[in-house]
Amino acid sequence: MIKLLLATGNTGKAREFMALLQDIAIELVTLQGIGLKLEVKEVGKTYAENAALKALAYARASGLLTLGDDSGVEVEALGGAPGLYSARYAPLQAATDADHRAYLLGHLSGLSRPWLASFHCTVALATPSGEVHFAEGICPGEIITEERGSNGFGYDPIFLIPELGRTMAELSMGEKNQVSHRARAVKAALPALLSFL
């Protein structure tokens, strides 16, 4: 069975990828599972560039087919910020997810609502030889001030999906994996992934 390395140290992302890919005839492995530690700087100017940097570096280091991603939340009222910098938005050493949410809400304070936003995810599927396939997913919504829900991570508790009337953090894993940006990106990547099987 072909192995697919999930190139993320974020346990929340790894769990989502595992749930999304559980029905594919492929053995999913994590960085922790194979003991691979590698620091890849996200210096790209797009989600695709950052996803490719991670996927290629880990594919070459491990010798395995590798799935990397880059994602972020883009808020219209902030001109698309934090975007690429979502995971390192709050200017604090070792900032937590809660720090990033608070920092975002601080920037939105006083701006007219609704604060329309979208989650973006680009996945890169890379081979050790350097072949890369990309797929993208977008989930529209809005930012709210009240944190709701205990599922998910990052900006999920303040990201409302209006048609569901719930935040991303109020959804079960199964529900989230029907509508999230990551789910949509993985679904779009399936033809490329299946071509390797």
> What are the residues whose beta carbons fall under 8 Å from the beta carbon of 119, sequence distance 6 or more?
71, 72, 73, 74, 138, 139, 141, 155, 159, 168, 180, 181
Q: What is the pLDDT of residue 14?
A: 92
Give the strands of the sheet with 27-30, arranged side by side.
27-30, 3-6, 65-75, 115-126, 132-143, 159-161, 166-167
Q: Which of 124, 47, 134, 111 is nearest to 83 (CA)?
A: 47
Tokens of 70: 């880059």
> What are the residues whose beta carbons fall under 8 Å from the beta carbon of 8, sequence distance 6 or more?
14, 17, 31, 54, 68, 69
| Angle between helix 11-20 and 181-194 (nearest 10) | 50
pTM of the model: 0.93
Q: What is the pLDDT of residue 25?
A: 93
Q: Which domains are present in the chain?
A: 3-194 (3.90.950.10)
Cβ atoms of residues 128 and 64 within 8 Å: yes
Cβ atoms of residues 84 and 47 within 8 Å: yes
Q: What is the pLDDT of residue 34?
A: 95
> In whole angstroms, what is the distance from residue 192 CA to residue 195 CA?
5
Q: What is the pLDDT of residue 197?
A: 80
> In whole angstroms, what is the distance from residue 114 CA to residue 54 CA?
34
Say which amino acid occupies 40. Answer: V
pLDDT in tens, the chain (197 residues): 899 999 998 888 999 999 999 999 999 999 999 999 999 999 999 999 999 999 999 999 999 999 999 999 999 999 999 999 999 999 999 999 999 999 999 999 999 999 999 999 999 999 999 999 999 999 999 999 999 999 989 999 999 999 999 999 999 999 999 999 999 999 999 999 999 88
Bridging pattern class, strands 65-75 and 115-126: antiparallel
> In whole angstroms, what is the distance from residue 90 CA to residue 37 CA?
25
Residues carrying an active site annotation: 70
